[in-house]
Amino acid sequence: MREIRKEVPGPIEYVIEWLIVRSRWLMAPFYLGLIVGLAVLLVKFAAELVHYVSIALSGTESDIILGVLSLIDLALTGNLVLIVIFSGYENFVSKIEGDGDRDRPNWMEKVDFGGLKQKLITSIVAISAVQVLKAFMNVQQYDSVQLGWLVGIHGLFLVSLIAVAFADFLGARAEGAHEPEGRYSKGKKH
C-alpha cells in the first residue's frame, strides 16, 4: 500500500495559515456588540410595551393593532439578531459548548450557512411585512409614493427569499446527483 505523505509547510506558510485560522476571533467582538444591540432592543420593547399598556383602555382598535404590530416587529428583529449571534459565532468563530445542552436551542446544531441565509432572509421578509401592514393600518399618514416604496421593497425582499431558496434547492439537487443514494438521485422517488 502506498503511503501518502503530507507536505510540511514552510515557516512563512505556517505563520500565514496560523494567522488566517486565528483571524476568525476578530469576529467575536462583533457578536458581543450584537448582544449589546439585543439589550437595546429589549429596552425599546419595554418602552413600547409600557406605552401599549397605557393606551389599552383609551386607544382605538387601530391603536391596539399597531401596538401589537410594533411589539411583533421588535420581537422579530430580536430573533434576527439572535440568529446572527448564535449561527455566526458557531459557524465562523467557535463551537458553542452549553451546560449539558439543556438550554441550547434545537436549531443550533442543524443550521448550516445555507440554512442561516434562509432564516435571515425569512426574518427580514417577516419584518418587512409587519412594516407594510403597519403602514396600511395608518394609511392616512403616508402618500402613495411612500406606500409604493414600502410595497416595492417588500416585494424585492420576497424575490430575494425565493432566489435564495431556489439557489439552495439547486445546490442540494446538484450535490444529490453526485451521491449514489442522494436525496435527488435518479430512480429514487419522494
What's the confidence (pLDDT) of residue 101?
57
What are the DSSP calls for 13-56, one per residue?
HHHHHHHHHHGGGGGHHHHHHHHHHHHHHHHHHHHHHHHHHHTT
- 33 or 165: which leads in pLDDT: 33
Residue 149 and residue 126: Cα distance in Å, rounded?
17
- 108 or 157: which leads in pLDDT: 157
Helix and strand numbers, DSSP H then E, in the chain = 5, 0
Does pTM top 0.75 for this prediction?
Answer: no
pLDDT band at 174; cut points 50, 70, 90: confident
pLDDT band at 183; cut points 50, 70, 90: very low
Mean pLDDT (the chain) is 80
Q: In terms of residues, how long is the chain?
A: 190
Task: Express each pLDDT in 126-138 by its tens digit.
Answer: 888 888 888 887 7
pLDDT band at 186; cut points 50, 70, 90: very low
Q: Which residues contact 110 (CB under 8 A, 6 or more apart)?
A: none
- Provide the grid cell at 112: 448550516
- 73 or 47: which leads in pLDDT: 47
Task: Express each pLDDT in 98-125 by its tens digit.
Answer: 655 566 666 666 666 667 777 778 888 8
Residue 100 and residue 120: Cα distance in Å, rounded?
27
What's the confidence (pLDDT) of residue 42?
96
% of the chain at pLDDT higher than 90:
16
Cα atoms found within 13 Å of the Cα of residue 82, Cβ hemisphere only = 14
